[in-house]
Amino acid sequence: MIELLAGLGQHYMGKPFRGYVYNVAEIAGLLAALVGEVNRSNLRSDYLVAQRNYEAAFDPDEVARWRAEAERTYSDMEDMETLRNQGLLVAAGAIVVSVLDALLFFPKVAAAPAPVPPSSGTSFVAPDSAGDLGFHVGVSLRF
């Protein structure tokens, strides 16, 4: 079963509230991951600039300033990596829980022997070796 969006199975089964919960969880997780990755990328550029300036600085005040800037930017970059990773985990979790929910609560299909009257015009009768006896096959599906 491939899902494009968590919760589609729940919508199909007539449980829209659950479906919307999974939809929102996956979309929010993916948006958080996107924001985290974009900010991490921008902060990485800032960190590299601060690191180069720190390495090139001669004045003790400049060294301290660029070192503090590099450390702050690196810490912020790590925070954005954490946001990205958590967003991806939330999105993946929403998909996994949605699939498990759909599998566990999908209406069961019950197959049991049942009498089947011959339909008009078409009968599933298979002749035996004598050609005059047959049987009917029927499946009862209950949702």
**Residue 99 falls inside a structural domain:** yes
**Residue 52 falls inside a structural domain:** yes
Are 125 and 118 spatial neighbours (Cβ–Cβ below 8 Å)? Answer: yes
The pLDDT assigned to 1 comes to 46
**Residue 127 falls inside a structural domain:** no
Packing angle between helix 60-105 and helix 16-56, nearest 10 degrees?
A: 160
The pLDDT assigned to 86 comes to 97
CB proximity list for 44: less than 8 A, separation 6 or greater = 77
**Residue 92 falls inside a structural domain:** yes
Are 141 and 109 spatial neighbours (Cβ–Cβ below 8 Å)? Answer: yes
Domain count for the chain, please give it: 1
Tens of pLDDT, residues 71-116? 999 999 999 999 999 999 999 999 999 988 888 877 665 555 666 5
CA dihedral defined by 72, 76, 78, 84, rounded to 10 degrees?
A: -170
The pLDDT assigned to 68 comes to 95
Kindly list the distances between the CA atom of residue 102 and the CA atoms of 43, 86, 118, 122, in Å, as whole numbers in the listed order. Answer: 40, 24, 35, 36
Say which residue, 122 or 74, is predicted with more confidence: 74
**Residue 114 falls inside a structural domain:** no
Say which residue, 28 or 137, is predicted with more confidence: 28
The pLDDT assigned to 84 comes to 96
- Structural domain boundaries, residue 47: 8-105
**Residue 134 falls inside a structural domain:** no
Tens of pLDDT, residues 44-73? 999 999 999 999 999 999 999 999 999 999
